[in-house]
Every structure is written in structure tokens, then in C-alpha cells.
Amino acid sequence: MGERIRIRETRGGRALWIDGTFASFVPHAGVATRSVWDALVAPLLALPAARRRSVLILGLGGGSAARIVRAIAPDAHVVGVELDPHVVEAARAHFDLGALGVEIVCDDARAVLRRERRRFDLVIDDVFVGRGRGVRKPDWLPSPYLPLAARRVAPGGILVSNSIDEAPAVLRAMRRLRPHVLELRVDGYDNRIFAGSTRALAARALRAAVAADAALAPVLGALKVQAPRRSAAIG
């Protein structure tokens, strides 16, 4: 796999590192990673079970988010977009990606968003570039491509975007695209994850749904869900 892609065994599970960045994790027990992937998928629980039919993941990596989706919605059609074929190869070899039944699209997320016409109940943007502590959103996110991702969300569905330093810009963009927005964070991580919908989203209701879900309940103590402050979008 070379220097870019590394597999590390830990006491809790198996980790994928890409360019010095923690990119995926599969725990030895359960599916909850106690990391950002739990927060990326948790908004799926805000939808009724009948509306958890399709999920688009931009930035598939080793399939951590896809694995959690599969646990919550076993029959959902999951499409995972990953730019690097070597990452897909590593995920198949070391993270059992093939067993998840994901439609894998090995391409640039921008190209996929330009040509994709299907709509999904949940669209997750987990796209980052850079190395190590320099990891960041690409220049085309949130503008101009987050609006294209929003177009792929089915009516009443949810758009989720992962961010770090660019969180204020992502929040501003999300508020322009969707009237209802929640922020999710996981203790120990700098990531700020925003979920937006045309449906009402309530932090208390989502936390209750997480607590009632067998897959994600273990992460509840580390998961923060709140309506973002208006001042949080300034910067």
C-alpha cells in the first residue's frame, strides 16, 4: 500500500490512516466508532424508518460511515464515492468493505455531483484533502459544490457536512440551503458536523433516537447535539 495508506491495529479495533490522517476505524465489537463517523450517520435516525432507504456518502474511505448506515438501515441502498482506488483496495482487503453491499463509485466527488441524478434520503459530505494536521475541506467545498450535494437530497431528507477549521463557512452555507440545522460533535475531536433539512430537527429528539438505537447508543455519552448559535456562523 506504500507510505500513503497505513493499517494500524489498536486495542479497540483496526484503523486506516491516509496521508497521516485518521480516515476510518472498525471496532472489534459493535459498529460505533466513538469518533466522527458516528456523528455523520446519527442524523439518519431523525428520519422515520421508512425514509431510510438511500444514502450517498461523499468520501467513503474505509467504509466506517457505510458500516454504521448498514447497521441502522439494513435494506438501504448505499452509494459510496471515493477518489483513490488504492483506498478502496485497502478497504476491501482490511475492512471487509465488500460485505457491506455498497455501490462504490471510484471518482472525484465533483464529477459525481455534476452527473448524478438520483436523490437520497441522506447525503453525507465527508470530503477532505491535505496531510496530517493540515487536513482541510477542498477549495470547492462548501462553495460551489455543497449546493449541488443539496440537490441530491430527496424532499424531507437530510444533508450532512463534516468540517474542521472551515466550520463557519460550512454553517453559513448550510443555513442558506436548509431552514433547520443541527450541529453534532464528538468529545476529543475538533470536527463540527452540520445536518440540515427542510424537516424540523430537534436536538433532544435526535439524542433520544440515538439512545434507543442499538448501533449508536454506546457513543451517546460522547456525542453533543445542539442547535448552532447564530454567532457561530460568523468568521
DSSP 107: S
Q: Does any domain span residue 56?
A: yes
Q: Does any domain span residue 19?
A: no
Question: What is residue 229's predicted lDDT score, i.e. its pLDDT?
Answer: 81
Q: Does any domain span residue 71?
A: yes
As averages over each run of 10 residues, the pLDDT of the chain (235 residues) reads 85 96 96 97 98 98 98 98 97 97 98 98 97 94 98 98 97 98 98 98 98 98 93 51
Cα 50 to chain centroid, rounded:
20
> Strand, helix or coil at 228?
coil
> All 3 cell numbers of residue 34?
466513538
Q: Does any domain span residue 17?
A: no
Give the CATH number of the domain where residue 221 resides. 3.40.50.150
Q: Does any domain span residue 76?
A: yes
Question: What is residue 234's predicted lDDT score, i.e. its pLDDT?
Answer: 46
Residues of the domain holding 101: 31-226
d(CA 10, CA 14): 6
Calculated CA dihedral for residues 139, 144, 145, 148, nearest 10 degrees: 180
Q: Does any domain span residue 159?
A: yes
Question: What is residue 56's predicted lDDT score, i.e. its pLDDT?
Answer: 99
Q: Does any domain span residue 233?
A: no
Question: What is residue 98's predicted lDDT score, i.e. its pLDDT?
Answer: 96
Model confidence, pTM: 0.95
State the total domains in the chain. Answer: 1
Q: Does any domain span residue 22?
A: no
d(CA 36, CA 14): 15
